[in-house]
Structure 1
Amino acid sequence: MDSKEVSLLKKALERQKKARRQAEMILEEKSRKLYETASQLKETNARLENLLSEKTSELEGVFINIVDPYVVMDINGNVIRMNAAAKELLGYDHNEEVFNLTQLVHPDYLEYTQKSFKQLYEVGTLKNYRAKIYVKDKTERFVQVNSSLIYDKDRNPIAAQGIIRDITGEMEAEEQIRASQNRLSTLISNLQTGVLLENEDRKISLTNQIFCDLFQIPVSPDQLKGADCSNAAEDSKHHFTDPEGFVKRIEKILKSKKLVLSDELEMKDGRILERDYIPIFSDGKYKGHLWTYQDVTLRKNYKKNIEAQKEKYWSIIANMNLGLIEVDNDDVIQLVNQSFCKMSGFSEKELLGQKASEILKVHEKNLIEQKGKERLKGKSDSYEVKVVTKSGQTNHWLLSGAPRYDETGKVVGSIGIHLDITAQKNLELQKEVLLTELEASNRGLQEYAHIVSHDLKSPLRSISTLATWLHDDYIEQLDETGVYNLQMMQEKVEGMDKLIDGILKYSSIKSETLEKKPVDLNQVVHDIREIIFIPEHVSVIIMDPLPTLQADATKMHQLFQNLISNAVINIDKSEGIVSIGVAEKKDNWEFYVRDNGIGIPKEYHEKIFKIFQSIGSEERSTGIGLSIVKKIVDLYQGEIWLESKVGEGTTFYFTLKK
């Protein structure tokens, strides 16, 4: 509705309201006059009674026998007589109270009532007057009135009589019918299906825009109402790939007048329509028919594509190494591929139509039943089962199951993909045996390492003691070379002792022995500075506050002690600095230990992390320290690397996972 129509509607409503106010003022004025002329009314009533006396007996007979509400009023609308039916309908009794019929009329019908009264006075009769009124209890009712004037002997109107019929039920029914028609019209207009309703004479009663669009009809549905469809088939046959077949089919359908569903029509532009014909009968008489047309091109093409894809991949599925089986909701086998037959030992003929749970002997029957119930709920999952094949051999299968749906999305069964993992399971069993044996071997080696270290350290301690005795007993007889040799002997013994301790530490680093508790790395570095020898010219500085980690305290101590000790002993500057810092990353902590020592040549950057590998002239180095560092970093899923320049210093970087 445009703005102009809205404006006109507003003006019409204002005029209606103004007329209603005028009518109310008129009624109020009339009421006032009526009360002022009460005495005149009494005289008029007396006169009317005298004038009507001649017809009394005749009218009384008619009055008594009228079943419908009957009312007599004076020229001004005041009720002067009414029967029992009228009293029951209106709730008033003229013998007990004075009331005017115009006072009962609903405000929306006042203007119409005034025109109707005017017609009654001018013509003498009023037929099918319909209005809404208020009865005495303020209930709204719809009434229909047929009335006529009563004249005196001089043909002057002195009163009016009328029969009132309560049509409230009829009006409500009509309103419901109109609402239903509107809903039906709206529904048909918005359907995605073309609709054409024809009466028994092939005239269009109803259609919608979709129908017009399907057949490229350049007019609106309203303009088609009443159009003759006798030649419609001939006029529209050019749209179809088989024009004559289209016409003959319509003629056959109309002649038989029987229900036809899902007629498929191919159009020249490539579209595919689906047509239904529904004949309409009332009391056995043919009243017309309904055509419905739906564009199913996408659905048909989709179905064709699905079939093509199914055909394309079925040969692959049939010959793949994975066993495929489909069952319905009753566990009856619907389909198997060749691989499944090979895995189970049964032929396709032996499997189809059989219950899977009966022909296939599965150890985990309760599990299969549970998974079957879950399929009905639309769940998919994978699990392992042990199956006895036709030959009696027990194999291990990995089964991936999923629900199978029909076109409506309803679960109609399940589909299973099976992989024979018997060989893998056997390997796993062998692996478990090997792991058990390896664990026993490792325990034995660990015990052996402790025994060997003890046996090795015992003679070392003896050698150290003998060297000490020789030094103490023969210090005066020994020259400088002899004293030097004894000192060298002690250093070698000390180096050998460190090497044995390093080997034990390296061999004992395992993930299963790691403890997890809060470890303050600041305290760890502080403790290391108190324990190890740090020359006076070297400073060990924490550059950034170090985090507290959930880690093994001993391993963290070994990690930082080896790096700090390595840095301290390789500083050749008069003022040495070892700095320790950290940077927080998304998934880990990145630490560094930096020194200003001798530096490490590029060719040794990878070699130094291997056990027993060391560089430089420091003979006390065992070549195990950085190997221990690397192993600990690996345990915490980190990485370690270094940057170094010969003569300037080295920075070791390493990460520890959060």
Structure 2
Amino acid sequence: EQDSLDLISSIGFNEVPAEPSIEVSNPNFLSARTARTKQPLFIPDLSEISEDIERMFKAKKMGLQSLIFWPLLGTDESLIGVINVASRSTKALGQLDRGFFTTVASMFSTVLERRRTEEQLKESQEQFIAFADNMPGPVFIKDHQSKVLFVNRFMRTMNSRRDNTGLDNVDLFNQSRAEELTVEDQKVLARGPIDRIQETREKDGKIRTYRSHKFPIFREGKSPLIGGFSIDITERVEAETQREEAKARAEFFNDLMAHDINNMHQGIMARLELILHDDELPEKIRTIAERALDQVNRSVSLINNVKKFTRVNQGDIQLEKTDPAEDPFVAFETVKQAFPNRRIIIKTNIIKKEYCIMANEFLHDVFYNLLHNSVKATDHNEVEIEVEVRLTQTGEFLRLDFTDRGNGLDDTMKQTILAGLDERVRRVSGVGLTLVKQIIDQYRGTISVEDRVKGDYTKGARFIILLPNGC
């Protein structure tokens, strides 16, 4: 309901001007009372009523004797306005007069309601056109026979014809394309919305890519319409293409480099091993050769880890039901072989077929790299590592603890050693632990590190892995 009555037209207000606007809540105006009650008010003789003198002041000043206030109501009984008719003579108002005003008020209500509806429709149309014209891509509406009813400014500027209204697919496209679009339009009406990617050649000859959405517009009691809009995704498509090309180049050079360097490594390793097999080799030279061979092995391991990085980060990896007890024992032996001159003792409570997690082939790399790291972190010849597995208190996660008695990690190292690839920190962990972090992330798990002895990092470190339990 409206809050005020705004003057539309007035006749006969020469001495005293008509009020341009009256608040419906104002108690000093009879027209406001009529608006509030929605009931007509007849005053045949002003001198005989007991209305407030302030309310009658303007009428008496104009010399008025009789007044009529009639509400104009819409079809939903909402207030449209109020008609006020006055006379300078008294006039008895009979049933015929009431019938006349009922008819006049009904005519006014119909005209004003229609005008209000037309104004609302016009405003709605203007809002839609403004919205469509500011879209950075095509917007259109067609009827059920594919005739154009509306196109936005983008389509008007792209087309040599300024006005496509009333044209159909045959008028706008070659025969094969027109037939294709007509079939598509009917499919939309029968089956519902469709999305597709399409390419369009612009006036400058450049190909642009659009994602188009076409959908039915159902109307009660009328034939359905076909609506559609497109969004320019050219830049996104070009960026994705460039990214894929860059990724392919990186993978190509990665494989090429890894292959060629590994071939060189094999040659170096073969020659170093031949030298080391010489029983008469001086001890000083033997030590140098052993260190050189160790460095080559580390380089081979680095290249293998980098290749695994590529595989782990190629996208969504497939996880499968896995017994976490299968991989540790293989990793135990692999680590012992990597350090043949060290006495490595690994204690574990892992039992086969006791737990099940969702993992894949890279779980072996998690075990291997954590064990390998523990050996490297221990200075003395004998290395003791504990691998303990248990469920968390809620049973939601499987917890794996890798505990060593090595040199440990100070607080700064703890904060950075497990940094991900996208974290901007000074990397201190090497590739192995970063690979472990990437794999655990793929498993939707977590990895953390703490002191083996709380408060004394020099007593060794404990790496804690939490993996979702259950298959």
TM-score by length of 2: 0.61
Q: Which has the higher helix share?
A: 1
Tell me, yes or no, if the aligned pair for 2:136 and 2:232 is still in contact at 8 Å.
no
The residue that corresponds to 2:216 in the other structure is 403
Deviations 1:208-257 (A, max 9, x none): xxxxx9869xxxxxxxxxxxxxxxxx999644422669977954999xxx
For residues 144-155 of structure 1, the aligned pairs below 5 Å read: none
For structure 1, the 5+ residue unaligned runs are 1-212, 217-233, 255-259, 267-273, 276-295, 475-481, 616-622
The code of the aligned residue for 1:473 comes to E
1:504 aligns with 2:311: no
Matches within 5 A, 1:91-110: none
Partner of 1:652: 463
Whether 1:541 aligns to 2:356 is no
**Residue of structure 1 equivalent to 2:171:** 358
The residue that corresponds to 2:192 in the other structure is 379
| Number of corresponding residues | 372
Please, which of 332, 341, 365 is the counterpart of residue 147 of structure 2?
A: 332
Residue by residue, what CA displacement relative to the aligned partner does 1:136-163 show, whole Å, maximum 9, x if unpaired? xxxxxxxxxxxxxxxxxxxxxxxxxxxx
Q: Name the counterpart of 1:465.
A: 274
Are 2:324 and 1:521 equivalent residues in the alignment? yes
Partner residue, 1:557: 364
Query: Considering only CA atoms, is the larger Rg found in Structure 1 or Structure 2?
Result: 1
**Partners of 1:651 and 1:374 in 2: CA distance:** 63
2:263 is equivalent to residue 454 of structure 1: yes
- Offset at residue 632 of structure 1 (A): 2.9
Corresponding residue SS for 2:197: strand
Cα deviation for residue 372 of structure 1 reads 1.7
Higher relative contact order (CA 8 A, sep 6+): 2
Q: 1:364 to 1:386 in 2, by over 3 A?
A: farther
2:298 maps to 1:483: no
Cα pair distance change 1:235/1:606, threshold 3 Å:
same
Name the CA shift for 1:428/1:507 in 2 (closer, same or farther; >3 Å): closer
CA RMSD after TM alignment: 5.0
Residues 110-509 of structure 1 mapped to structure 2, 5 A cutoff = 238-240=70-72, 241-242=82-83, 250-251=99-100, 263=106, 266=109, 307-342=122-157, 344-349=158-163, 351-360=164-173, 365=178, 368-377=181-190, 379-387=192-200, 395-406=208-219, 408=220, 410-422=222-234, 424-425=236-237, 434=245, 439=248, 442-443=251-252, 445-469=254-278, 472-473=279-280, 483=283, 486-487=286-287, 489-509=289-309
Q: Structure 1, residues 337-390: CA drift from partner, whole Å, max 9, x if none? A: 211212x323433x1221145314597656533442244358334322345667
Q: Aligned AA for 1:317?
A: A
Q: CA 1:455 to 1:641, structure 2 compared with 1: closer, same or farther past 3 Å? A: same
Cα distance in 2 between the residues matched to 1:592 and 1:301: 73
SS at match of 2:349: strand
- What CA distance in whole angstroms lies between the structure 2 residues aligned with 1:599 and 1:302? 80
Which secondary structure does the structure 1 equivalent of 2:435 belong to? helix
SS of match in other structure, 2:228 = strand
CA–CA distance in structure 1, aligned partners of residues 239 and 360 of structure 2? 34
CA distance in 1, matches of 2:343, 2:404: 14
Query: Which amino acid counterpart does residue 539 of structure 1 have in structure 2?
Result: K
Residue 403 of structure 1, CA deviation: 2.7
CA pair 369-319 structure 1, distance change in 2 beyond 3 A: same
d(CA) in 2 for partners of 1:537, 1:592:
18
Change in 2 beyond 3 A, CA 1:376/1:486: closer
Identity over aligned pairs, percent: 15
Partners of 2:320 and 2:359 within 8 A in 1: yes
* 1:68-87 mapped onto 2 (5 Å cutoff): none
How far the C-alpha of 1:412 sits from its partner, in A, is: 3.5
For the residue of structure 1 that corresponds to 2:371, the secondary structure is: helix
Shift of 1:557: 1.0
Q: What is the Cα deviation at residue 582 of structure 1?
A: 5.1
* Alpha carbons of structure 1 residues 507 and 596: separation in structure 2 relative to 1, 3 Å: closer
- Matched with 2:413 is 604
Q: Which residue of 1 aligns with 2:439?
A: 632
Query: 2 CA distance for matches of 1:358 and 1:339?
Result: 19
Asked whether the equivalents of residues 546 and 581 of structure 1 are also in contact (C-alpha less than 8 Å), the reply is no
* Residue type at the aligned position of 2:349: I
Shift of 1:549: 4.0
Give distance in 1, aligned partners of 2:376 and 2:259: 29
> Can you list the C-alpha shifts for 1:488-524, whole angstroms capped at 9, x where unaligned?
5314423422332332243244146977654311122
CA contact (8 A) 2:139 2:152 kept: yes
Q: Is the 8 A contact 1:325 1:337 kept in 2?
A: yes
Q: Secondary structure at the match of 1:403?
A: strand
Q: 1:596/1:396 Cα in 2 relative to 1: closer, same or farther (>3 Å)?
A: closer
CA distance in 2, matches of 1:399, 1:378: 17
Counterparts of 2:96 and 2:204, CA distance in 1 = 65
Report the alpha carbon displacement of residue 600 of structure 1 after superposing the two structures with TM. Answer: 0.8
- Which residue of 449, 456, 460 corresponds with 1:642? 449
Deviation, structure 1 residue 656 = 5.6
- What TM-score comes out, normalization by structure 1 length? 0.46
- For residues 329 and 495 of structure 1, the distance between their equivalents in structure 2, rounded to whole angstroms, comes to 75
Q: Structure 1 CA distance, aligned partners of 2:231 and 2:175?
A: 15
1:54-83 Cα offsets, whole Å, 9 max, x none, are xxxxxxxxxxxxxxxxxxxxxxxxxxxxxx
Q: Note the C-alpha offset of 1:421.
A: 4.0
Say which SS state the counterpart of residue 320 (structure 1) adopts: coil
Summarize the Cα distance change of 1:565–1:497 in structure 2 as closer, same or farther, 3 Å threshold: closer
Shift of the 448–252 alpha-carbon distance from structure 1 to 2, 3 Å rule, reads closer
Name the amino acid aligned to 2:463.
F
**Residues 362 and 649 of structure 1, relative CA distance in 2, 3 Å threshold:** farther
Equivalent position SS for 2:146: coil
Question: 1:424: Cα distance to partner?
Answer: 4.9
Q: Distance in 2 between matches of 1:488 and 1:626?
A: 28
Q: Is the 8 A contact 1:384 1:396 kept in 2?
A: yes
* Equivalent residues of 1:378, 1:402 under 8 A apart: no
Cα distance change of structure 1 residues 307 and 547 upon mapping to structure 2, 3 Å threshold: farther
Code of the residue aligned with 1:414 in structure 2: it is I
Distance 1:490 1:362, change over 3 A: farther
Offset of residue 560 of structure 1: 1.2
